[in-house]
Chain A
Amino acid sequence: MLDFTKMWGIADWIVIIVYFVGILLVGVSMRKRAGKSVKSFFVASRRLTIPIIIGVAAAGWYDSWTIVGLAECGWTMGIVIILVFVVPEALLRLPLATIIGPHVRDKIPDWVVTVPDMMKYFYNNKVKLISALTYIANLLYDSALLYAIAEVLKLVTGTSMILSLAISGLVIVLYTALSGLWGLAVTDLIQFAIMTVSAGALMIGIVALHGGMPEIWDKVGATNPTLLSPTGGMGIWEAIGWMISACAMYCEAACYQRFGAAKSGREIKTAYSIMLAMGVTFSMAMVIAGMAALAFFGNVADKPSEGFWALVFSVLPTGMRGLFVAALCAAVMSTVSSDWLLFSTCAVNDIYRSFIKPSMTEAQTVMGMRFAVGVFGVLCVIGTIFWANGIANAWYYLGGFLFAMFFVPIVAGLFYKHKTAAGGLSCIIYSACMYVLWEFILGDPGGIPSSVFVSTSGAVVYFVVCNLTYNKTQTMHDAGEEV
C-alpha cells in the first residue's frame, strides 16, 4: 500500500484548516438572514441570482461521487462511462434545467417549498407523507459521501476515520443549522470554485508531468484494450441503467429546493444551462484522471482510489494537494449539508408540523429544523458502516431507486392534466415494493435493471389508475378553471 502521509505537508494542513474555519465563519455570518422563517431558512427567501444558483446547483449535482466515483469508473470501465453517464447526464438533464426548473419556480404556488409539499399540491397528504419519509431514507447516500471524506483523510493524512467523520460531520451540522440555505449558497459557491480549480490543475499537471493523453491511451490500451472501446463490453440493459441513474436528478429534492430559491424562472434557465456546460467538463476531467491513475499507478496501487490519490499527489505540489483534498471535502459537504437541511425540513415542517402539531410557529419550526440537522448528522455518520466496500455503485443504486419511485409522479404531476391522488399514491407504493422485489429478491431477471423495469411499469400503473379514477366532474371543473 502506498504511503501518502509522508507527502502530506504543513502547507496542506493549513489549507484544510483554513477551509474548515472559513466555511464555519460563513455559517456564522449568515445566521441572521436565515433565522426569519422557514422560507428564509430553506429557500433563502427566494432571492438567489445567477452566480449563486450556478454555485449551489453545481455543488449539489457534482458531488464527491463525481470526483472519486467517476475516477473509479474511468479506471474500471474506461471510456464507456462517457457514453453511458457523463454525456447523458448533461443532455438528459437539460429539460430539467430549461423547462421543469422555470416551470416549478414560476407556476407552482409560493407555499410549496419542498418536494413533499409539491406532492401534496399535485396529489394529497398521504403522498406527501410517503415522499417525506422516502427522502429522509436517502440519508444512506450521504453516508456513502461522508465515508469518502473519511477514507481519503485517513489515506492521505493518517487521521483516523472516526475522527475525520466526527469533525466533518460537526462542521456541516454547525454551518447548516446556523445559516440554512443562505449559508449554503455562499459556501457552495466557494466549494464549487475550489473543485473546478483543483480539477483544472490536475489536468494540466497530467500533461506537464506524465506525458499527457497519448501516454495514458497507450498504457491503458496495453493494460486492457476493452477500456478504450466505446461500448466497453457493457450490455445494453446495464448501459440504460447508467443513463437512467443520470436522470435521477429529476427526483432529487435538493434540486427542487434550488429551483424554489431562485429569484425567477429565467434565472434558473440561464444558471443551470451554464452549470451543465461547466459540469460536463468537470465530470470528463475526473474520468480522464481515473484513466491516468490506472495508466501511471495501476501496477503499484491496490485499488482505484489509491491509484487516483497517487496521481493527485504526484502531479500537484504541496499546498495544492491540500486544496484538492479540500475540494473533495467541499464536494461532499455541499451535497450533504443541503440534504440534511432538506431532511430536517421534511421531518419538522412536512411531517411533524403538518401531521402532528400544526400549531407550531415559524420560529419554533426553524428551531426544530436546526435541532433535526444535528440528529441527521449523527445518523449519517453511523450510516457510513454500510459503505466499507467502496462508493462506486452508490449513485447507481440509490439514484436508480429515487428515479424508479418519483420520476413519473413528479414529471406527470407537473404536466399531466388527468392526474389523480390515487394515481400518484398507487404509483409510489407500487414502485417502492417492486424495486425491492426486482433488485433484492428476484436479482434483476433478464439483466433488466430495477430502475428501468420499475419506472416503466410504474408509469403504466400511474396512467391506468389516473384514467380510471379521473372523473368527469373533475374534468368539467378543470375546464371551468381554464375558461
Chain B
Amino acid sequence: MSLKTKKVLATLSVIMVFIFSGIYLIVPMFGGYNWLAWMLGILNLAAGPTVLAGYIVEVRKGIFKDVEEEANKEE
C-alpha cells in the first residue's frame, strides 16, 4: 500500500468515526429505526472478514518472507 493510500485511508476513517458517532448518538434519542439495525448488522458482518482478507492478501504478497527465512536459518 502506498503512503498516499495510507494517508487517504486514515483521513477517511477519522471522518467515518465522526459520522458514525454522530448517527449512533443522535438517532436513538428520536426512536428505534430498523435502518440503524441493518446498518450495524451489515457493517459488523463486513468488518472482520475484510480485515482478514487484507491480511491474507499481504501474506500472499510475501511481507513476512524475510522473517520466516531468518527463523528457518536459525533453526
Contact = CB atoms under 8 A, between A and B. Distances in A.
Contact of A47 (B32, B33, B45, B64): B64
Q: Which of B17, B34, B64 has most chain A Cβ within 10 Å?
A: B17
A193 B49 contact: yes
B44 A33 contact: no
A215 B32 contact: yes
B44 to A, nearest CB: 3
Contacts of B55: 51-52, 55, 186, 189
B10 A269 contact: yes
A207 B37 contact: yes
A332 to B, nearest CB: 17
A144 interface: no
Interface stretch (A8-16, A131-139, A280-288): A280-288
Which 9 pairs from chain A and chain B are nearest by CB?
A193-B48, A200-B45, A213-B32, A217-B32, A200-B44, A203-B41, A196-B48, A273-B13, A51-B54
Contacts of B18: 91
A interface secondary structure, majority: helix
Contacts of A170: none
A214 B51 contact: no
A79 B28 contact: yes
17 contacts: A47-B64, A50-B6, A94-B14, A98-B10, A192-B48, A192-B51, A194-B48, A196-B45, A201-B41, A203-B44, A204-B37, A204-B41, A215-B32, A230-B29, A269-B6, A280-B20, A288-B37
Interface in A22-43: 32-33, 36
Q: Specify the main secondary structure of chain B where it touches its partner.
A: helix
A212 interface: yes
B70 A36 contact: yes
Given A32-B71, A277-B17, A278-B51, 13 more contacts: A36-B70, A51-B55, A193-B48, A193-B51, A200-B43, A202-B41, A212-B34, A213-B36, A217-B31, A273-B10, A273-B14, A276-B17, A288-B36
A200 B42 contact: yes
Contacts of A49: 58, 63
Contact of A82 (B6, B24, B31, B64): B24
Contact of A212 (B16, B20, B32, B54): B32
Contacts of A284: 20, 24, 40
Contacts of A54: 51, 54
Interface of A: 32-33, 36, 45, 47, 49-52, 54-55, 79, 82-83, 86-87, 90-91, 94, 98, 186, 189-190, 192-197, 199-204, 206-207, 212-218, 228, 230, 266-267, 269-270, 273-274, 276-278, 280-282, 284-285, 288
A273 B15 CA distance: 9
Contacts of A267: 6
B13 A196 contact: no
Contacts of B70: 36
B58 A276 contact: no
B37 A277 contact: no
A113 to B, nearest CB: 17
Contacts of B68: 33
Contacts of B34: 207, 212-214
A288 B47 CA distance: 18
Contact of A278 (B14, B24, B43): B43
B13 to A, nearest CB: 4
B62 to A, nearest CB: 12
A51 B18 CA distance: 22
A284 B9 CA distance: 23
In the complex, which of the residues B33, B43, B45, B63 has the most CB atoms of chain A within 10 Å of its own CB atom?
Answer: B43
A214 B7 CA distance: 40
Contacts of A45: 67
A75 to B, nearest CB: 15
A33 B68 CA distance: 7
Contacts of B51: 51, 54-55, 189, 192-193, 278
A281 B47 contact: yes
Contacts of A278: 43, 47, 51
Contacts of B42: 200, 204
Given A50-B1, A98-B14, A90 B21 contact: yes
Contacts of B75: 32
Interface in B49-75: 49, 51-52, 54-55, 58, 63-64, 67-68, 70-72, 74-75
Given A49-B63, A212-B32, A197 B40 contact: no
B14 to A, nearest CB: 5
B55 to A, nearest CB: 4
